[in-house]
Amino acid sequence: MKRLLYSIAGILLTGSIQAANTIETGSKITEATVFMTGAELTHTATARLPKGESTLLVNGLCAEADAGSIRIKTGNGALISSFHFLTGKTEKQEEKPALKTAKAELQKLQEQQQELETRIRVNKNLLEMLRKGIEKSTSGGESGIGLADLSKTLDYYKTRSLELETTLQTEQKAQAAVVEKIREAQREMDQLKLKESRQGTLRINLLSRTEGDCNLAISYHISRAGWIPSHDIRVAGTDKPVVISSKAQVHQETGIDWNNIRINLSTTAPNNGRTAPLFNAWFLKPFQPIPLLRSSQVMAQNNFRYNEPENFTGAVQTEETAEEDFGADQYITLTENQMNQTYRIDLPYSIPGNGESQYIELQSKEIPATFNYYCAPKLDPETYLLAEIANWETLNLLSGEAHITFEDTYIGTTYINAANTGSTLSLTLGRDKQVAVKREKITDYSSRRTLGNDVKQEFIYQLTVRNNRNVPVNMVLKEQYPLSSQKEITVELSKETTPPSFNVEELGVVTWEFSLQAGETRTFRLGYSVKYPKSMQLNL
């Protein structure tokens, strides 16, 4: 019997010790590594642990944390025996001070509203009683009421009713103002409740050799965050270098604000269960090609320039300035490995937890550029000013939208594709109507002839370029001729064609590159012949 009592007492004592050794502490986000999709958050917390076993409740974590990604580091020789992530409110956890204050303010406003409702009701009743009393007094029964008494009664009614009506109007306005304040307080409290509900708690079972403070670092992955790269491209003039500023548009929807924390931006993303692909068997099947009715094939044109002509040296190339401006990029370190790029930022940033994007400047660089005017009149009669940047891969640009400003005028947006394998990055700076190009078909030289079972058609187009500017310009002019997709069709350039700077035969595109003086006009011709069977119809 005594042993049983001792056992029960021991169990109760152990339970009381465990309950006494349950400690609660808050945590603070100190660092976030943001991926293109998702982020890894790092919290720090401090708690005073007793010697031996204890249970630590760490609050303030994101409720949407991936429990499988949680990592914990402890100091002061404390060992972790187990941990469990909780998304609900613990029994010991109290409401945050901000939520308590909001509730108290809401209760105070509701009491004011009730008091005003009571006053308004009383004043309305008084007005009704006054009206009924006046009606009864002025009726005077059978004998009526004297004029002197009637005058006094009406004066009293007027004075008193005005007082009550004025008081009633004031109280009704105050009531409307309190109702609006109650709505605002309710919205604020709902937001605080939502924010608190989106926070999780980490329960950690620890073993400490000595009593003392223990520092913890807790990291985990979340999915509702990310960043998008973008660029600002500024060109002061064709005699100035191009300034490319890269930015990161960072967002997160965890419900927890990141206040003055260190931000790292990574171009990678967790695999999320993806595995390397494997081949399946590839079985061949008969294929019936669809007959082509046109003599041309659609081929992609990725660059404005295919290769550099040996004899063209007229383009203006700006010089890179030696002095660099002071900016936020002075605090950014870029590290690269085989998998990703990471921008480590040594400035504190705050990112709200409501999904509102914040912009972080990553780098700003000046780079020399070559400026040329470009026109392909078959596609578009307008002439465009291009800035061409060589060796652009050294800028470590990421794929993203780019906003272009030329001579302090916003031009529009373009897209920089970092996966482009070309050695030159071409940027369109806008149209210039002062460099005019006209394309027309020369009917005197175009003809159609029948040769036995075949038809031969000849075409000649003339391109007229005029520089209406008061300064020389460098021009890139392109024209296209069709390609044959069948052996029965023959396409040849005619001798009427102005010798081009180069001809990309696999695309059927000729290019002329030349300098054009102020007020100068030049003409170029493209001629070709198409020979095909009479029974065939072509869209020429």
Cα 183–Cα 186–Cα 188 angle in degrees, nearest 5: 110
Calculate the dihedral angle through the C-alpha atoms of 18, 21, 22, 26, rounding to the nearest 10 degrees: -170
User: Given this model, what pLDDT does residue 198 score?
Assistant: 66
CB 172 within 8 A of CB 120: yes
Rounded distance, CA 504 to CA 519, Å? 30
64 within a domain of the structure (yes/no): yes
SS3 436: strand
Residues 32 and 180 in one domain: no
Is the model more confident about 58 or about 421?
Answer: 58
Residue 429 pLDDT exceeds 90: no
Q: What is the mean pLDDT of the chain?
A: 80
pLDDT tens digits, 370-402: 899 999 999 999 999 988 888 888 888 888 999
Residues 440 and 504 in one domain: yes
Residues 112 and 178 in one domain: yes
Q: What is the CATH number of the domain that holds 56?
A: 2.60.40
SS3 528: strand
Q: What is the pTM of this model?
A: 0.64
CB 63 within 8 A of CB 200: yes
Q: 292: pLDDT confidence band, cut at 50, 70 and 90?
A: very low
Residues 43 and 191 in one domain: no
What would the 3-class secondary structure string for 472-519 be?
A: CEEEEEEEECCCCCCCCCEEEECCCCCCCCEEECCCCEEEEEEEECCC
163 within a domain of the structure (yes/no): yes
334 within a domain of the structure (yes/no): no
Residues 49 and 162 in one domain: no
Rounded distance, CA 377 to CA 273, Å? 50
Residues 143 and 208 in one domain: no
**Can you tell me the mean pLDDT for 453-473?**
91
CA-based max dimension of the chain: 133
DSSP summary character for residue 321: P
Residues 165 and 184 in one domain: yes
Rounded distance, CA 354 to CA 357, Å? 9
**Can you tell me the mean pLDDT for 247-269?**
90
Rounded distance, CA 29 to CA 58, Å? 12
Rounded distance, CA 528 to CA 295, Å? 13
353 within a domain of the structure (yes/no): no
For residue 345, the cross-strand partners are 332
387 within a domain of the structure (yes/no): no
Residue 483 pLDDT exceeds 50: yes
174 within a domain of the structure (yes/no): yes
Lowest mean pLDDT among 141-150, 284-293, 447-456, 467-476: 284-293
What's the structural domain count of the chain? 3
Residues 137 and 68 in one domain: no
Residues 520 and 440 in one domain: yes
Structural domain including 501 reads 435-533
Residue 110 pLDDT exceeds 70: yes
Two structure tokens written together for 390:
């060589």
Rounded distance, CA 299 to CA 189, Å? 60
Residues 6+ apart with CB under 8 A from 404: 233, 235, 410, 411, 412, 413, 414, 427, 428, 429, 430
Q: 57: pLDDT confidence band, cut at 50, 70 and 90?
A: very high
Residue 141 pLDDT exceeds 70: no
pLDDT tens digits, 7-36: 433 433 334 334 447 899 999 999 999 999
Rounded distance, CA 8 to CA 157, Å? 82
User: Given this model, what pLDDT does residue 139 score?
Assistant: 66
Is the model more confident about 468 or about 308?
Answer: 468
Residues 67 and 127 in one domain: no
488 within a domain of the structure (yes/no): yes
Query: Counting beta carbons within 10 angstroms of the beta carbon of residue 49, is it exposed (0 to 12), middle (13 to 18) or buried (19 or more)?
Result: buried
Residues 37 and 116 in one domain: no
User: Given this model, what pLDDT does residue 195 score?
Assistant: 64
Residues 184 and 71 in one domain: no
352 within a domain of the structure (yes/no): no
User: Given this model, what pLDDT does residue 13 score?
Assistant: 35
